[in-house]
Amino acid sequence: MSGDQPSPGVEDGGGPPAIRADDLTKRYGRFPAVDGVSFSVADGETVGFFGANGAGKSTTLRMLAGLVRPTAGTVHFGGAERSLGDPDATSGVGVVTHDAMLYDDLTARENLRFHARLHGVDGVDDRVEAVLDDVGLADRGSRRPATFSHGLRKRLSLARALLHDPDVLLLDEPYSGLDQRGVADLGRILDGIDDRTVLLSTHDLELGLARCSRALVLDRGRIQVDRQIASTSPSEFEAAYRRAIGLDAERDDQSTGDRSTALDQR
């Protein structure tokens, strides 16, 4: 990691961070999908995981969410260690992954009622209607998700994640597959919950930088860059991002090769 990065274990305001990962590792056989990742996210902070496909973003989020067991390392939420199989592991965490976690043979409303009961939500019917309204699906509650567009399924998945009023949201590629209207709708929803701690993954630099206050760049399962958005310009961050994922190195190598070929042909 670069020298301008904050210490992974720094705690703001004297209290424990909302999220802390220490030496988080996931191997599939000999392949390290995530290789000793350590970082923390302060309470109320919105942090973006940036990186190319296969960088380790989704695997990291799934380990944080308790959906994948780490090979090594620990995860803490609010100072309490959580582990896969712990019934309280996701009690204060809302998760949106590539898998919408929806049942297509149930209506949108029935899906939310089902998940609300799983989380022990009080006043299920009122809470379901409130969340449907929050994500702009109040008039579609009686429809099945199978009839929804990709953007509407994303909204319903976010509604599911918000049902139990979590303090922490883990969003895996929330902008993926959305058109401009879908991106705007998602932005409006996220604006309404800006008091939460949010960790989101994306490879869209423009959208991610506009949403996040801090950016982590992953490549080959490791954090290569950790920067506060306010302290760097978009062009500076893009340059750091390209270096971190090897694009500039590849371009320089290609340019060197092109120049050598041109010289050889003279």
Q: What would the pLDDT profile of 99-141 be if each residue is shown by its tens digit? A: 888 999 999 999 999 999 988 999 999 999 999 999 999 999 9
Percent of the chain with pLDDT over 90: 67
Check residue 247 and give its pLDDT: 86
Check residue 266 and give its pLDDT: 39
**Nearest Cα to 166, choosing from 107, 103, 115?**
115
Check residue 100 and give its pLDDT: 82
Check residue 15 and give its pLDDT: 82
**Nearest Cα to 166, choosing from 32, 18, 1?**
18
Is pLDDT above 80 for 3?
Answer: no
**Nearest Cα to 237, choosing from 200, 208, 201?**
208
Segments making up each domain of the chain, as ranges: 1-92+167-260, 98-165
208 in Cβ contact with 225 (< 8 Å): no
**CATH fold of 1-92+167-260:** Rossmann fold (3.40.50)
**Nearest Cα to 74, choosing from 102, 111, 36?**
36
**Nearest Cα to 95, choosing from 206, 38, 32, 171?**
171
Average pLDDT score over the chain: 86
Is pLDDT above 90 for 98?
Answer: no
Is pLDDT above 60 for 9?
Answer: no
**Nearest Cα to 61, choosing from 81, 42, 85, 34?**
34
Check residue 89 and give its pLDDT: 58
Check residue 253 and give its pLDDT: 47
Task: Find the mean pLDDT for residues 9-13.
Answer: 49
- Judged by average pLDDT, the poorest of 2-6, 19-23, 38-42, 167-171 is 2-6
